Structure 1
Amino acid sequence: MTEIAQAHAPSYYTATAHPREPAPALAGSASADVCIVGGGYTGLHAALTLAEAGRKVVLLEENLIGWGASGRNGGQLHTGQRRDQSYLEDTFGKEMARRLWDLSQEAKALVKGRIDRHRIDCDWMPGLIHAVHKERYLSEELAYAEKLSRDYGYDAIDKLDRDALAKAIGTDVYFGGTRDREAGHLHPLNLALGLARAAEAAGVTIHEATRATRLVEENGRVVVETTNGRVDAGDVLLAGNGYLAGLDTDLDARVMPINNYILTTEPLDEARADALIPGREAAADSRFVVHYWRLTKDRRMLFGGGETYSPSFPADIASFVRKHLLGIYPQLADVKIDHAWGGTLAVTQNRLPYLRRVRKNVYAAAGFSGHGVAIAGFSGHIAALAMIGDSERFDIMSSLPVARFPGGRLLRWPILVLAMSWFALRDRL
């Protein structure tokens, strides 16, 4: 039976995406050097790297390119790993922390470089502000900026006191923060679609509306069975992040899907937009359950806030997110909400990504914990490099410990709900 692709989420990104002809579903059997399961950043960057190295690549996507988190996220490109350098030094030592920093810088450069090289029109804008929501956190935030400059030679961060931050983001509810001039924001779905065009131009075969159902080893190769046929491959990359339940039990045990939500307002006039974020940077705050926001190219406020930990989305996503928005920008109470949507990302217990050779000739990359614009694509890229003989970067990332969630698949949901509810309460208090 042929799978039917679900449409993209009814988001601002879908409404402003650059149209792309859908790829045909797989029909029958195919053969490849590498089969990639998942058409988001991880799979697309991997496919492009492999095709540029001369490998024959088949990429399978259950729905449409960028349908998952890659086409729904906040669009923020961060510096560093998901955990900061102080945590990495304390946990793994300074030498390993330095390697992870260097890899994160490569990840950021990979995204920017491919945007430039393939002329991907995705509204790239530099600048990312981190706003501190508790006064006692501010000294730590400023000291961390000094640490990155002193120990890592990273001088792209400006310190912002309370008044400077209020002028930069149009609200006085925060106590200060920092601005990273080399981080920034973009249109995530158009980035994914642009990467798909580049991959196809390099020779990658993409099949949308094709759901992978099982992996089978045959004669030293891996067969990916799907709803529409099968692909016989030398190597396989599982690149579906929060949408891979059932394809690998170890991945399922260590990576947890959660849901996050975003809205966009109607377009604001220029004066009102300038009163909010005159420099057009993106912003995120220091809460454990992060609020993040920015102005789009057409001057809409795009705001993300709130998570849920069940498979279903709230009945009224706009109202669910709007209450978080008005806690920061009460002056937007009169503004109409034009789009509101949710999406599924994947987290790990320690928020470090899960990269592994899960079995012979099968690689997996998932669990980017809200840091996927840079790290997800880079993870696919280094998995691809490992397949063609350069495994140094992949080996470093795959050495990071990622524990199983307690309770297995049956109990991990309620345990996560309890933990995340506690952190949300701590944010409010």
Structure 2
Amino acid sequence: MSQAGLAHAPSWYAESLPAEPLRAPLRGDQATDVCVLGAGYTGLSAALSLAERGYRVTVLEAHRVGWGASGRNGGQAIVGYGCEVDTLEHLVGHPDARRLFDFSREGMALLRQRLQHYAIACDWRDGHASVPINARQERGLRQGMQALVERYDYPLQWWDRQQLRGQLDSPRYRGAMFDPASGHLHPLAYALGLARAAESLGVVIHEASPVQALVRGARPQLRTAHGTVTANQVVIAGNAWLQGIAPELESRIMPVGTYIGASAPLGEARARTLIRNDMAVADVSWALDYFKLSADHRLLFGGRASYSALPPPNLRGVMTRRMHQVFPQLADVGMEQVWGGYVDITRNRAPHWGRLTPNVYFAQGFSGHGVAATGLAGDVIAEAIAGQNERLDVFERIPHKRFPGGKLLRTPLLVAAMSWYKLRDVIG
């Protein structure tokens, strides 16, 4: 792997943190209790939960800790999953949908507990607002909120336009569903903090160690170009970056490009006029915008998903225009940096977690909603490896279909489908 391949992907997140030395790549043959593929949130959380239970754990990462979506995302940690609860009810019925939603609340509690217990400094801030742009979106958001409050006992607040403007200085939105239990963080700092927490309990992490093959059997094995790890159990946490390791998993997810920009520094006073309570914000369009303030008083503004695996043309200009639509008062402010990466979505946007074989576990399909859910996934899998399968069994009851079209046609079909949803957003 080239030296360029050993660096974190360029982003404001990476530039805002001191560089860390490379963890030693895998060399030779090793044996352990559990081997984890991927040092993103899911893999690191599984490793940490397993180490807390006394297991010996080795993690193999193709690049650097948090190199993929875990280190580049919007940093919004939200209760729930990539799909709404009515989708879960359709897939598994209300009793299991309720269990799944309650598990997601446990995942948020676990995230907060780990930030405190392991002293992970990642600029955590409380509060998340989901905001509608048009009347159709407002009706849908209010209905969804009513279901969560009345049938799922989840406390949320509805803010009318005036109340929202008291916290968010944008004329674009009709109101907000505010969730005080969700929040946002510095995603790469969180990933690095999880890694240090896991290492403090004896977990071994090998960076620059791309896995080339999974060998299944009584004692499964992960192979790299320069070594192997044989284990009693394996956890596959590659998400959008499996690249042939487990074809039956790859057929049920689609890598989708998503993009974020960092504005020039605004200064504390000007930044605080934009989002007075420092919450994270996301609209509810299919091609959504999401944004928050950074600790150094920039606006971090994301959106503009690409379903074709090609970055949008003139990305910086597009992101700047979208930022100005939300905050016209920033007409004199541009994007200093833009970056992107892939998230993995499932057809139904529900999480896809389970077992490939009795000793090979996996979690994928976070569908852009993984900051809190990944921690839950790692803990649920660690729990199952330790012999407690109750929570994982519920996730395994969620049905998942392959994306149609095979490798050649599934991306064009998805692009066509998403174009319709984007048109629906435009016409309201």
**Runs of 5+ unmatched residues, structure 2:** none
Q: Is the 8 A contact 1:37 1:43 kept in 2?
A: yes
Q: Partner of 1:343: helix, strand, or coil?
A: strand
Question: Is 2:75–2:184's contact at 8 Å kept on the other side of the alignment?
Answer: yes
Aligned AA (1:426): R
Query: Does residue 69 in structure 1 map to residue 69 in structure 2?
Result: yes
Query: Letter of the aligned partner of 1:42 in structure 2?
Result: T
Change beyond 3 A, Cα 1:420–1:311: same
Q: Which amino acid aligns with 1:227?
A: A
Pairs within 5 Å for 1:6-405 = 6-155=6-155, 157-217=156-216, 220-314=218-312, 316-405=314-403
The separation in 1 between residues aligned to 2:3 and 2:96, in whole angstroms, is: 44
- Answer whether contact 2:81 2:366 (CA < 8 A) is retained: no
* More displaced stretch, 334-343 vs 344-353: 334-343
Q: 1:358 to 1:4 in 2, by over 3 A?
A: farther
What SS does structure 2 have at the residue aligned with 1:342? strand
In 2, Cα distance between equivalents of 1:224 and 1:33:
13
Tell me the distance in 1 between the aligned counterparts of 2:309 and 2:98.
38
- TM-aligned CA deviation for residue 81 of structure 1: 2.3
Task: Give the secondary-structure state (helix, strand or coil) at the position aligned to 1:48.
Answer: helix
| Cα offset, 1:3, TM superposition | 9.5
Q: Which amino acid aligns with 2:357?
A: R
Amino acid at match of 1:272: R
Partners of 2:372 and 2:244 in 1: CA distance: 26
CA deviations on 1:161-219 (whole Å, 9 max, x unpaired) are: 1122233221111111211111000001000000000000000010000000111135x
Q: Is the 8 A contact 1:18 1:190 kept in 2?
A: no
Say whether the 8 Å CA contact 2:31–2:229 is kept in structure 1.
yes
* TM-score normalized by the length of structure 2: 0.96
Moved more, 193-202 or 229-238: 229-238
SS of corresponding position for 2:220: strand
Q: How many residues align?
A: 427
* Partner AA of 1:100 in structure 2: L
Q: CA RMSD in A?
A: 1.7
Q: Aligned equivalents of 2:151 and 2:137: distance in 1?
A: 21
Contact 2:353 2:362 in 1 (8 A): yes
Instruction: Say if 1:131 and 1:285, in contact at 8 Å, map to a contact too.
Output: yes
Match of 1:272, SS state, is helix
Asked if structure 1 preserves the Cα contact closer than 8 Å seen for 2:134 and 2:174, the reply is yes
2-structure distance, mates of 1:314, 1:143: 33
Once residues 299 and 4 of structure 1 are traced to their aligned partners in structure 2, the CA distance between those partners, rounded to angstroms, is 29
TM-score using structure 1 length: 0.95
Q: d(CA) in 2 for partners of 1:273 and 1:383? A: 40
Q: Which moved more, 1:265-274 or 1:116-125?
A: 265-274
Instruction: Please say which of residues 30-39 and 353-362 is displaced more in the overlay.
Output: 353-362
- 8 Å Cα contact 1:131/1:165 also seen in 2: no
* 1:225 to 1:169, Cα distance in 2 relative to 1, 3 A: same
Q: Which moved more, 1:302-311 or 1:257-266?
A: 302-311
Within 1, Cα distance between the matches of 2:416 and 2:65? 34
Q: Is the 8 A contact 1:265 1:335 kept in 2?
A: yes
Stretch deviating more after TM superposition (305-314 or 256-265) = 305-314
Helix, strand or coil: the match of 2:87? helix
Task: Give the counterpart letter for 1:48 in structure 2.
Answer: L
Does structure 2 retain, via aligned residues, the 8 Å contact 1:142–1:177? no
Q: Alpha carbons of 1:4 and 1:215: their partners in 2 closer, same or farther (altered >3 Å)?
A: farther
Q: Whole-Å Cα distance in 1 between the matches of residues 18 and 190 of structure 2? A: 10
Alignment CA distance shift 1:3-1:52 (3 Å): farther
- Asked if the contact 2:320–2:334 (Cα under 8 Å) also holds between the matched residues in 1, the reply is no
* Contact kept? 1:46, 1:383, Cα under 8 Å: yes
Aligned equivalents of 2:187, 2:354: Cα separation in 1: 26
Distance in 1 separating the partners of 2:358 and 2:225? 23
Amino acid at match of 1:198: A
Cα distance 1:237–1:324, how it changes in 2: closer, same or farther (>3 A)? same
Identify which range, 80-89 or 20-29, moves more after superposition: 80-89
Listed one character per residue, the Cα deviations across residues 122-146 of structure 1 (whole Å, up to 9, x for unaligned) are: 0000010110111133234234333
Q: Secondary structure of 2:177's match?
A: strand
Give the partner amino acid of 2:380. I
Q: What is the distance in 2 between the residues matched to 1:137 and 1:306?
A: 18
CA spacing shift, 1:146–1:217, aligned 2, 3 Å: closer
Render the CA deviation track for 1:215-259: whole Å, top value 9, x for unaligned: 1135x2111111221111111111011111201111111011110
Residues 170 and 120 of structure 1: CA distance in aligned 2, closer, same or farther (over 3 Å)? same
- Partners in 2 of 1:409 and 1:284 — Cα distance? 32
CA contact (8 A) 1:169 1:277 kept: yes
Q: 1:90 to 1:367 in 2, by over 3 A?
A: closer
CA distance in 1, matches of 2:338, 2:130: 24
Paired with 1:335 and 1:2, the residues of 2 have a C-alpha distance of: 36
* CA deviation after TM superposition for structure 1 residue 315, in Å: 5.5
Alpha-carbon separation, structure 2, partners of 1:103 and 1:74: 22
| Match of residue 426 from structure 1 | 424
Q: CA deviation at 1:318?
A: 1.8
- Residue identity in the other structure for 1:180: D
Alpha-carbon distance in structure 2 between the residues aligned to 1:137 and 1:315: 28
SS across alignment from 1:169: coil
Matched-pair contact (CA < 8 Å) for 2:235–2:360: yes
Q: Percent identity?
A: 43
Distance 1:55 1:375 in 2: 22
